[in-house]
Amino acid sequence: MTATLTPASPIVRRRPLDTGLRLGAIAVLWAGLLLVTYWWAAGGGITDLGDWETGLTSLGRLTGLLGSDLLLVQVLLMARLPLLERAFGQDRLVAVHRIVGFTSFNLVLAHLVLITWGYAAGDLTRTPAEFWDLVTGYPAMLLALAGTACLVMTVVTSIKAARRKLRYESWHLLHLYGYLGVGLALPHQLWTGQDFLGSAAETAYWWSLWAAAAVAVVVWRLVLPLWRNGRHRLRVTSVVPEDDDVVSIHLSGRRLDRLPVRAGQFFGWRFLHGPGWTRGHPYSLSAAPDGRTLRITVKTLGDGSAEVRGVRPGTPVLFEGPFGRLTDRVRTRRGVALIGAGVGVAPLRALAEGLDYAPGEVVLLHRFRDRPLFAGELGVLARERGLRVVDLPGPRRSAGSWLGDGVPVDDVTALRHWIPDVAAREVYVCGPSSWAEVVRRVALACGVPDERVHVEEFRW
């Protein structure tokens, strides 16, 4: 069954502010890197390259400066800054975070090697002894070494092959050591580095960047979550089975009408019901917030999600968020296509309830293996709101396709068949990472502009 819109469907809203914020953030990032490079060059960095020994030390200084700058940018990226969350969305932020993270780590390692080699007069045989002298004889170098070890652990566990072997909860806990690594690795540069203390402008820049990173973490990772939890005091009201391995958790609290959350967003959840409560679980809302209650839907995918099934009514809940850009805020068209796989339909079901639309303006394509989730609720939305629901059952036919075995045509043809005017719509996608990436590519092939394809992926 197909769904189309009239060509005259009006644009709902545009968000040039988000585009401006993204461009501004990227410009600030590059400006900082260029500024510290300029200070390195002005301090004789280029001239020193003419000699082997001083050249190694000079390159060590440059990699240290660039690595330090990017490490502090990493902290800002991890601090859940609302402006960045809204402008980039989680998936883009994660992509930037990975690039900046691996780049900063490589620069820090290069700094360590080059500085030690340069201080050893370019003699590799003297480098181990020189390294020992640096660690034991220079202020804060032991702290820097411990910080580097924390960064190594964080980076190694972020490699995709390692991540696949870890539970999400374990990876998330290990990943927090990145904060400790930054906190331990950089102070020696503030205390002893000539490029940090060479002028009032340099000193002001580095201390301001440090202060911004520290304030961001304290305010948005500590103070704001504590304040919101104290204000809203969430508790589990019921646990409702949706399928053999899927449950919905219903929550209530105080003043939820003042919680700034939209349909399609997710939170980090901690259920205070026993061991393991310190591990956060990222789950999306599966119902539009009504100011009185919240609902999440959880599929058993690992130890953490299996524990959630055992939560009892009355259990206190800690939360962090809301997060995510899969909301009506980014909507620019009346027509909307919602495409979800398995439990990935949860935030899309919330959007189907929370969006403003007329009959035929919103289409939901739901991929599932055996039984669809929320079939009854989606049926009600279809009857009362005019939501178009297309069920796509069966196992996925191949890793390069987002469709099931029973579809006889290619992915692009199928999408255009079900939604002929998909190129004129806003497209929201939620599902496993590889599947969601295939859907994104197919939507682009159908003529949907990249800025109108909004993806939220499951990475575990």
The band of 296, judged by pLDDT with boundaries at 50, 70 and 90, is: very high
How many C-alpha atoms does 324 have within 13 Å on its Cβ side?
29
Chain segment 152-170, per-residue pLDDT in tens? 767 666 666 555 665 655 6
| Beta strands per DSSP E along 300-447 | 317-323, 336-341, 362-368, 388-393, 426-432
Lowest mean pLDDT among 114-118, 254-258, 347-351, 440-444: 114-118
Give percent of the chain with pLDDT exceeding 70. 80
Give percent of the chain with pLDDT exceeding 90. 40
Instruction: Please state, in angstroms and as integers, the Cα–Cα distance from residue 187 to each residue in 15, 130, 132, 198, 218, following that order.
Output: 40, 20, 19, 16, 18
Chain segment 209-240, per-residue pLDDT in tens? 989 988 998 999 899 999 999 999 999 999 99
User: 242-248 long-range CB contacts below 8 Å, 24 or more apart?
Assistant: 242/297, 242/373, 242/374, 243/371, 243/373, 245/299, 245/300, 246/297, 246/298, 246/299, 246/300, 246/343, 246/373, 247/297, 247/298, 247/308, 247/309, 248/286, 248/295, 248/296, 248/297, 248/298
Q: What is the value of pTM for the model shown?
A: 0.82
Q: Which two tokens stand for residue 373?
A: 């989730």
Chain segment 412-441, per-residue pLDDT in tens? 999 999 999 999 999 999 998 889 999 999
Chain segment 370-387, per-residue pLDDT in tens? 888 999 999 999 999 999
Which pLDDT value is given to residue 16?
A: 67
Q: Which two tokens stand for residue 170?
A: 């374990």
Chain segment 176-219, per-residue pLDDT in tens? 666 666 666 666 766 666 666 668 888 889 889 989 988 998 99
Q: Which two tokens stand for residue 222?
A: 């500590």
The band of 127, judged by pLDDT with boundaries at 50, 70 and 90, is: confident
Which pLDDT value is given to residue 460?
A: 47
